[in-house]
Amino acid sequence: MTAAPGVRGGGPGYAARVTPEQAQKPFQDARDALDAVLARPEVIAGVSDAVRRLAACFRAGSKVLACGNGGSACDAAHFAEELTGRFRADRPALPAIACVEPGHLTCVANDYGFDQVFSRWVEALGRPGDVLILLSTSGNSENIVHAAAAARERGLSTVALLGKDGGRLRGVCDLEVVVPGATADRIQELHMLILHVLVEGVEADMFGKS
């Protein structure tokens, strides 16, 4: 079998272009980013606050909505399914919805513009007492900014997971957790870890699971 055009095969005599040292660097970068989080008490306090808000939301019979773009959309979906489904142990299902339905996204993007895909969804599904989780590595995504505004207008609580300096969303939401990271991938990895901590914290708070 021949390699695709422009792709070098791995047959006899092939010299790897990525050294073990180069392969190790992303792991070191990820550990450095995590160490930076642990050195910021405000991040840990924010995560703890988010757990409290989510548990209170569920106890009141309300739901959680989550949205983000690209990899953050995948993180939002993963977060929602661990609440509606199962994380580590059996417990009652918890109401959570991620805005990843392609029919809605393409309809709104076509009719109103991509900037409105999340705000229209919040308008349709959000109710007072619900919590909206906003995922943005930059804090500057226009559709996420619009979603935060729509949530405020409808009485939802807003929790944003952000990166770098927090961007336009910093100071806008009820709670913002801003993590360090030089690149979007490192920030997203921290966001996914935080989402897991949120689920674990809610389960411990509500059901004594750990």
Give the pLDDT confidence of 59-75 residue by residue, as tens digits: 999 999 999 999 999 99
Q: What is the mean pLDDT of residues 42-52?
A: 98
Q: What is the dihedral of CA 84, 87, 88, 90, to 10 degrees?
A: 0
Q: Where along the chain do its domains lie?
A: 24-192
Phi then psi for 191, rounded to 5 degrees? -60, -45
pLDDT band, residue 13 (cuts 50/70/90): low
Torsion sign over Cα 58, 53, 184, 125: positive
E-only strand ranges, the chain: 64-67, 96-98, 131-135, 157-163, 175-179
Give the least confident one: 5-9, 89-93, 102-106.
5-9
Paired with 160 in beta bridges are 134, 176
Cα 200 to chain centroid distance, Å, stands at 15
Q: Which CATH architecture has domain 24-192?
A: 3-Layer(aba) Sandwich (3.40)
Please say if the pLDDT value at position 11 is more than 90. no
- Mean pLDDT calculated for residue range 118-134: 98
- pLDDT tops 70 at residue 14: no
- What is the structure's pLDDT at 182? 87
Average the pLDDT over 159-165 and give the result: 96
Q: Alpha-carbon distance 179 to 33, whole Å?
A: 8
Query: For residue 1, what pLDDT is reported?
Result: 52
Res 12: pLDDT: 64
